[in-house]
Structure 1
Amino acid sequence: MKITKTEANGVNLAIVSGSEIFIGDVQSALDLMATVQYESGCNRIIMNKSLFSDSFFDLKTRLAGEILQKFTTYQVKLALVGDFSVYSSQSLKDFIYECNHGNNFLFLPDEQQAIEKLSRLK
């Protein structure tokens, strides 16, 4: 895992990258939050969707809800970057729409948009 720190609009952001799946369950999400906080001091994280297991995007598993609840509890904001049009689930599309209109989680097509929008969340 590589953590890069950047700043936009006066807000520090951590960009997490890697070549393997980091988030496969709730505990791995908690571990990631702790590692990012410790290594970068950031509570706003940008990650590519490829770092999440496919079960995260299957809402029937409840994994997305459980993980995002942990992020909310620990006051960490998250932007996932990637092509979400590959998913056909209407429930997932609705979930992404609702998240993108909230203040904690974003699903965006590219890192630059993630930096811009995540740095402006309240």
Structure 2
Amino acid sequence: MATDADVLPPADEIVTLHGVTLLRCAPDGPPLDGERAALDLIGDAGWREAELVAVPAERVPDEFFQLRSGIAGAIVQKFAQYRLRLAVVGDISQHVADSQALRDFVYESNQGNQLWFLPGYDELDERLRPTG
């Protein structure tokens, strides 16, 4: 007999890493494909009092990585407007290999504190670990 846990997809969860509350999104949730999706995540994160949203790379559509589409800029602007950080977690190497502009965007983003592109959750844990 199947239980609800057998048929329901994994849910987004709140996790605290090194004193930072983050909304860790499930891999099979709705795509982060525009401002509406960003606002949905921002609202969920705000309701749960998260400071950072970690979205698996598989939930980010190809168009996000095509900077000319404007999708990445619109999404990042919404997160910044609501003072919420965003981390895209997972392998985006093929996208980066295909675009010098994206490679530069990822590099610059990872130098700051608003948007990170990280290969895995271990790197997110490391990034949030206090220094010293």
Please give the TM-score of this superposition, normalised by the length of structure 2: 0.82
Structure 2 counterpart of 1:116: 126
Q: 2:70 matched to which residue of 1?
A: 62
Q: Does 47-56 or 20-29 show the bigger shift?
A: 20-29
Aligned ranges 1:1-122 → 2 under 5 Å = 2-38=11-47, 40-87=48-95, 88-118=98-128
| Structure number with larger C-alpha Rg | 2
| Structure 2 unmatched runs, 5+ | 1-9
Q: 1:111 to 1:77 in 2, by over 3 A?
A: same
Specify the SS of the correspondent of 2:83.
coil
**Which of the pair has the greater relative contact order for Cα pairs under 8 Å at 6+ separation?**
1
**Equivalent AA in structure 2 for residue 94 of structure 1:** D
Structure 1 vs Structure 2 CA RMSD: 1.6
Structure 1 stretches of at least 4 aligned residues deviating more than 6 Å after TM superposition: none
SS in 2 for 1:42: coil
How many residues align structurally? 119
Aligned equivalents of 1:116, 1:13: Cα separation in 2: 14
- Bigger share in strand: 1
SS in 2 for 1:17: coil
Q: When the two structures are superposed, what TM-score results if normalisation uses the length of structure 1?
A: 0.88
- In structure 2, how many angstroms separate the alpha carbons of the residues matched to 1:23 and 1:69? 14
